[in-house]
Structure 1
Amino acid sequence: MRLLIVTSQFPIAGEPNRGRPILQTVRELSRLAQVKVISPIASYPRWAQPRSYLYRASDDTHQVPGCDVDYVRYPALPAVSRPFNGRLCARAIERPMRDFAPDVVLSYWLYPDAHGAMLAARRAGLPLVVGARGSDLRVRDAISKRLTRPVLAAAQRLLVVSEDLGRVAVKDYDADPDRIRAIPNGCDAAIFHPGDRAAARQALDLPADAEVVTYVGRLVAEKGLRELLDATARLRAERPRLQVVLVGEGPLREELAARIGKDTLPVRLAGAQPADVVAQWMVASDLVTLPSYSEGHPNVLVEALACGRPVVSTPVGGIPEVVDAASGVLVPARDAAALAAGLVAVLDREWDEAALARRFSRDWRQVAQDTLQVCEEALSEVRGLRAVYAAGSA
């Protein structure tokens, strides 16, 4: 099968960890089929850079090991061009799509990426499979939500990373449940596995007796990072050995750094790190936290558990499908006091590292196999419909 992936959620110059679960899936798919990635990047004027992203793609020739990827640009303006971004995206991907001549188009991120892929695939007469990651289904602006609806109606299949997201698609977009397939994320056990905590702390310059709480992800308000700093402020007197580490980058970094300095909080900003260093931070930790307001199926929690570390998170999206009382504590979102109590509860409890690590044995090859099977379903369905139409026209 010749499979074209269309997604902006892919590593770009300056942001190497962008779309890491999709990257892992694509690498394994490339072992099973002939795969090409087209990554459409919105190109904003220098004077109109959106605040929601820290980085812009600066090198269209950026290469990703193990992947055949082309970066294409389309012009955009924050908010102003939103209603047209899908069509602009379609225009950017049409030619490379035609040159690759795929059997199936698979697009991750519903608007504008999958909307553009829908228009381009329709013109080329190709089957379309789309993948939702979380916030692209739980969109806040009315324009994106309105333009997402036809994508779900047109796609032969909708891939979601959790059963919860499938329910959202049916409830909020009237998606056909028979076309929805839940394919949870995998985990690379070669990288994320239990390790020597003392050695990891020594390598990362952490005190041997510290109570280390680690967050991994983009530095954005929606991840509950203001509440995490509030919880840290509440706990620093009673937990003098507490050390909070934020691994990642994002537009909230300057605000967080200012707050940390102003209140002298025991928080370290570790920056964005490659997967092996992320795993090292997890191994060095007592727990991993993700106090998000909204999530799909956060891979960081799967990876934390694979490293044998309990988690403190929120009961939103697909998180309850990953975390239960045997693996951590769930607290209400946007509640710093509850978050502080959850951190204490996990820090004060003894955890079975080996039992936590056994919870997730699903690897990315399984994710790729499931994804390819769905793409084959879509192709077979379209070919069957064409055969019926041809027979009726004869």
Structure 2
Amino acid sequence: MLRVLTLATLFPDASRPTFGGFVERQTLGLATRADVQLEVVAPIGMPPWPLNRHSHYRRFAEIPETEVWKDIIVHRPKFRLVPRVGGPMAPAAIAKALLPLLHKIRERFAFDIIDAEFFYPDGPAAMRLAEALNLPFSVKARGADIHYWGKRAGCASQVLQAGKRAGGLLAVSEAIKRDMTALGMAADTITVHYTGIDKDRFHPVDRAAAKEALGISGPLIVTTGALIPRKGQALVIEALRQIPDANLWCIGEGANRPALEKLARDLGLSERVHLPGNLPHEEVAEMVAAADVMALPSASEGLANAWVEALACGTPIVISDAGGAAELLDRAEAGAIVERDPSAIATAIRSILSNPPNQQAVRSTVDKFSWERNGDALFRHLSGLVERQ
């Protein structure tokens, strides 16, 4: 029996049901194995008074410190967070808040390993906790945790330290593995761990009927991801000027929403650009399956779940050469890798719209992705670290 404590600052709760959904899905898959016992610690950062009265943080006040979330025991302790400037202090603050809790948990659940689900701040926090408890730990790199935190002053050294002290590391793509080794982590400690995909939820549909059910006519382009500059929604909005009659739905929420709304107004595209916010997973799947193209020209990625989900729906993608893009787009039917330029994005989208690929041919791109494979690989990785301890 493998006993796992999953540490994840990206994990859903009642106030954020879609937050860190990819971490949740991976964790659920591992937890359902008969040879695994698992609990989750999902710490929540709270600033000191009076900042904790801000609406962004006030919503966390009612979240229970321990609950059963989709049949998994999830602990949600609070730790001291200093907004904007507190990034370098976060791992130590998390470890300080969690260590007494982990001692208490171990009195009834003697977990064998700490599995950190994001490299920062989870990784350095897991390092401190694992060393205090004399346990092995693993850290998974997903993209921004390496590309942003791995280069930020006060944080980069902690990322590297955690990477060197971990029993083993995971990377969502070969590209992220290369980026990790470039920071100084040993390649032989890093295992590429591709995401899974729910192919029952994300699957091809009759696009015309799906659009009609959604009240949409004409070509449909979607983006899925946080509304932040790195994801490149602004580039897709600018590209829309060169794609007559198409509608763009930017699914997600984030700080860049006002700028995107203003850009759409300034370009006279407000009637064709829609920002519905975060949607339940089922509605995201329906929208992506109905779309003719999913566009996501990110500045950086690991191997985006949004890419895999779109392809599973038979929807071709137009993406930038970020992270594991070339590992995924291995056939013409799947879409195109383009420069982060509105004209290049528009040209690729128009090409797909003029000659739509077969949906099943697009879907076959992700035959190698499944949550079963993901769970089996994670089990082997964690079990191996425990055996070597």
Matched, 1:80 2:81: no
How far 1:63 moved relative to its partner?
5.6
SS of residue matched to 1:131: strand
Distance 1:66 1:320, change over 3 A: farther
TM-score, normalised by the number of residues in structure 2: 0.91
Counting only pairs closer than 5 Å after superposition, residues 1-394 of structure 1 correspond to structure 2 as 1-32=2-33, 33-45=36-48, 57-61=60-64, 64-98=69-103, 99-100=105-106, 101-139=110-148, 140-172=151-183, 174-207=184-217, 210-233=218-241, 235-236=242-243, 239=244, 241-265=245-269, 266-324=272-330, 325-333=332-340, 335-361=341-367, 362-382=369-389
Note the alpha carbon deviations across 1:238-270, whole angstroms, 9 max, x for none.
x1x211111111111122223323433111112
3-state SS of 1:358 partner: helix
Q: Letter of the 2:238 partner, please give it.
A: D
Separation in 1 of the partners of 2:58 and 2:179? Answer: 30
2:44 and 2:298 map into 1 onto residues whose CA distance is: 26
Q: Structure 1 residues 336, 274: closer, same or farther in 2, change over 3 A?
A: same
- CA positional deviation for 1:326: 3.1
For 1:263 and 1:55, the matched residues in 2 are separated by: 37
Q: How many Å separate the matches in 2 of 1:156 and 1:381? A: 9
**Matched AA of 2:126:** A
Cα distance, 1:47 vs structure 2: 6.2
State which drifts further: 57-66 or 186-195: 57-66
Shift of 1:66: 3.5
Q: How far did residue 54 of structure 1 move? A: 10
SS of residue matched to 1:342: helix
Query: Could you tell me whether the CA contact under 8 Å between 1:200 and 1:280 is conserved in 2?
Result: yes
Q: Which moved more, 1:337-346 or 1:27-36?
A: 337-346
Q: After the TM superposition, which of the residue ranges 369-378 and 15-24 deviates more from structure 2?
A: 15-24
**Paired letter, 1:145:** A
Change (3 A) 1:82 1:350: closer
| Aligned amino acid, residue 249 of structure 2 | V
CA distance in 2, matches of 1:191, 1:220: 26
Alpha-carbon contact 2:174-2:192 (below 8 Å) kept: yes
Provide the secondary structure at the position in 2 that maps to 1:68: strand
CA–CA separation in structure 2 for the residues paired with 1:213 and 1:341: 13
Mapped to 2, the partners of 1:54 and 1:331 lie a distance apart of 39
Distance 1:211 1:138, change over 3 A: same
Equivalent pairs: percent with the same residue? 28
Mapped partners of 1:38, 1:329: distance in 2 = 39
| CA shift digits 1:274-299 (9 cap, x unpaired) | 11111110121111111100000101
Aligned residues of 1:11 and 1:64 also touching (Cα < 8 A)? no
Describe the SS at the equivalent of 1:269: strand
The one-letter code of the counterpart of 2:143 is G
Structure 1 residue ranges, 4+ long, deviating more than 4 angstroms after superposition: 45-49, 53-56
After TM superposition, give the deviation of residue 94 of structure 1 in Å. Answer: 1.3
Quick one: distance in 1 between partners of 2:275 and 2:338? 24
Count of paired positions: 372
Equivalent AA in structure 1 for residue 221 of structure 2: V
Q: Deviations over 1:151-186 (max 9, x none)?
A: 0011010011101111111111x2111111101001
For the structure 1 residues 46 and 332, does the alpha-carbon distance in structure 2 shift closer, same or farther, using more than 3 Å as the test?
Answer: farther
After alignment, is 179-188 or 88-97 more displaced?
88-97
Report if aligned partners of 2:333, 2:358 keep a CA contact under 8 Å in 1.
no
Cα deviation, 1:271-330, whole Å, max 9, x if unaligned, reads 211111111101211111111000001011111111111110001111111123331011
Larger deviation, residues 304-313 vs 335-344 = 335-344
| Residue 55 of structure 1: how far off its partner (Å) | 9.8
CA distance in 2, matches of 1:159, 1:13: 28
Structure 1 stretch displaced more, 38-47 or 7-16: 38-47
Secondary structure at the aligned position of 1:111 is classed as coil
Aligned-partner Cα distance in 2 for 1:63–1:259: 43
Q: Which runs of 5+ in 1 are unaligned?
A: 383-394
Distance in 1 (CA, whole Å) between partners of 2:62 and 2:324 is: 34
Take 1:302 and 1:313, find their aligned partners in 2: how far apart are those partners?
Answer: 12
> TM-score, normalization: structure 1?
0.89
Secondary structure (helix, strand or coil) at the match of 1:188 reads coil
Q: Superposition RMSD on alpha carbons, in Å?
A: 2.0
